[in-house]
Amino acid sequence: MRDFGPSILTDLRDQGYRHILYYDMEYFGLLVPLREICETNEASYIVPINDELLVEMAGGIDEFSIYVLS
């Protein structure tokens, strides 16, 4: 698990990931890079890798940590 930031987002794009599966874990967020879309549940959703939301999340959110499983 790594802290999510701009360089990780760039690396994921360069590696060919097309989507991010975001899990809301109440006190932190968990991101899983995806090449294909998968099913989600009420605590997760899929964001396209080029979405502006990911750029904002990579910049940091006050008092909320976001981690990437890779």
Q: In the chain, what are the domain boundaries?
A: 2-68
Q: What is the pLDDT of residue 66?
A: 92
Q: What is the pLDDT of residue 12?
A: 96
pLDDT, tens digit, 9 for 90 and up, residues 10-62: 999 999 999 999 999 889 999 999 999 999 999 999 999 999 999 999 998 88
**Residue in the block written with tokens 């991010």:** 20
Q: What is the pLDDT of residue 13?
A: 96
Closest CA to 57 of 25, 18, 31: 31
Spatial distance between the Cα atoms of 51 and 42, rounded to a whole number of angstroms: 20
Q: Is the pTM of this model over 0.75?
A: yes
Token pair in block for residue 44: 């997760």
Q: Which amino acid is at 13?
A: R
Which residues on neighbouring strands pair with residue 65, listed in sequence order?
Answer: 28
Q: What is the pLDDT of residue 62?
A: 81
Q: What is the pLDDT of residue 39?
A: 92
